[in-house]
Amino acid sequence: MVALSVRVRRDLLYLDFYFYLPNGKRTRAFEPMGKNTKKNQQIARSKDKAIQYHLKTDNFCYPDFFPHGSKNKYFKEDHGVPFSELWDQIISESSNRESSTITKQSAYKLHIGPHFGNTPIHEITEHDVLLFRKVLQAKELAPASINSFVGFFCTIMAKANKRGMTDRYVCEDIGLLKRPKSEILPLSFDELRHFLGTLKKWDPEFHDLIFFWSRTGLRPGELVAIMWDDLDTFNNVIQIKRTRSSITQKEGPPKTATSERNVDLRPEVLKVIKRQQGRVGLSCKYIWPFKNKQYSHKTLGRRFKHYLRLSGLTQKPAVHMRHTFATLHIASGENVTWVSKMLGHSNARVTFEKYNRFVPNLTRNDGSAFEKAFENAEKGNIEVTPSVSI
């Protein structure tokens, strides 16, 4: 096992021997001991004997004898890739919207990074994930936020498993926390009429904006981003081509593929737009500007709440005008498929499931509407056809 000797080459001393690396491979070491002097020869022979002894007793540790030796790279402990390194790599590779990237980076900075940043990928276990979720719950975060943050983390771990950095996907059995249904606070018919009446008195331009919003159901970002070029008076539609992010305050494509759509404009809505055209003219490219500039989410929300307060109505975020459009149109008997198309939902089932519980008995009354329709059909008065299609 040991072939050890002190050698001289070009007036320099070397220790020449073989030993085994941590991976079991036998390798040769040719370590310099300085110039060929009597003093260095004595040091080399002493070190030679010590190395020979440790090799025979299987206690040889190369870094102890040669702290700066060329073979030390084989003795460095492999701690693996830290989570922070893979996070940065995956984020740089992704083609997410800028607002989505900002949201993820914020979650990493506040929650994910402090918990997992320095942990080697291969050391993370399912127990660690569950513990992380417990920590988030202790911060009293909303279940939806916790699910999102754990989801961001698990996306990275799924990539790690796919790239062979882990033996298994540690989030495989991690379910979502139960979350309460989204709080939807639409205005009723009476509240909407009262609100519009107040606005007509105090701010006719904002009245027209709210009237338009209540008839189109746009998302706030879509509302503030529509331009005069998006208006198609020949087909009586407005084209939704972009949205303004509440995070980056920049414009980008709509939220989803189905969000890029044509929204129908009824004659009453076209009258409102014509009035707005008379106010704005060519001074601004946006249909609904604020002081000849594009509305920000913050300004729109602040003005909306101000006029709610002035009207004596319950305070709520401006996005509930979208919910008001959906609930009141479905309650009025509009086809759910049409409402879904106007909202930009992927399909009518999404719309129906989201808003059905808010629809009052204008469209149903615990089965009595069916009995009445069935009775009329039996008498031959009407032909029964579905009033709602999904």
Q: In which band, very low, low, confident or very high, does the pLDDT at 368 lie, cut at 50, 70 and 90?
A: low
Q: At what angle do helices 204-216 and 297-311 cross, to 10 degrees?
A: 100
What tokens does 182 get? 């989204």
Is 270:260 a contact under the CB 8 Å cutoff?
no
Q: What is the pLDDT of residue 77?
A: 62
Q: What is the pLDDT of residue 240?
A: 96
Q: What is the pLDDT of residue 231?
A: 96
CA-CA-CA-CA torsion sign (87, 93, 96, 102): positive
Strand partners for 243? 252
Residue ranges in the chain assigned as alpha helix (H): 38-56, 62-65, 83-93, 98-107, 113-116, 126-138, 143-162, 189-202, 204-216, 220-225, 267-280, 297-311, 320-331, 336-343, 348-355, 368-378
Distance between CA atoms of residues 282 and 270, nearest Å = 18
Q: What is the pLDDT of residue 3?
A: 45
Q: In which band, very low, low, confident or very high, does the pLDDT at 4 lie, cut at 50, 70 and 90?
A: low
Q: What is the pLDDT of residue 360?
A: 54
**80-116: pLDDT as tens digits:** 789 999 999 999 988 878 888 899 999 999 999 999 9
Q: What's the number of CA atoms in the CB half-sphere (13 Å) around residue 26? A: 6
Q: What is the pLDDT of residue 183?
A: 79
Q: What is the pLDDT of residue 344?
A: 94
Residue written as token pair 């702290």? 67
Distance between CA atoms of residues 241 and 259, nearest Å = 8
- 8-state DSSP, 108: I
Average of pLDDT values for 374-384? 59
Per-domain residue ranges of the chain: 5-74, 83-162, 189-358, 363-390
Burial label for 189, CB within 10 Å (0-12, 13-18, 19+), is middle
Q: Has residue 255 got a pLDDT over 90?
A: no
Kind and range of the H or E element at 1?
none
For 83-162, the fitting CATH number among 3.90.79.10, 1.10.8.60, 3.30.390.30, 1.10.150.130 is 1.10.150.130
What tokens does 243 get? 């949205």
CA distances from 344 to 156, 216, 221, 261, 270 (A): 30, 11, 13, 7, 20
Q: What is the pLDDT of residue 257?
A: 84
| Residues recorded for the chain | 390
Distance between CA atoms of residues 323 and 218, nearest Å = 10
Reduced to 3 states (helix: H, G, I; strand: E, B; else coil), residue 5 is strand
CATH fold for the domain made of 189-358? hpI Integrase; Chain A (1.10.443)
**112-171: pLDDT as tens digits:** 999 999 899 998 999 999 999 999 999 999 898 999 999 999 999 999 999 888 889 999
**Fold: same for 83-162 and 189-358:** no
Kind and range of the H or E element at 264?
strand 261-264
Distance between CA atoms of residues 307 and 317, nearest Å = 12
**288-346: pLDDT as tens digits:** 999 989 999 999 999 999 999 999 999 999 999 999 999 999 888 888 899 999 999 99
- The pTM score is 0.63
Average of pLDDT values for 237-253? 89
| Secondary structure (DSSP) of 13-33 | EEEEEEEE-TTS-EEEEEEEE
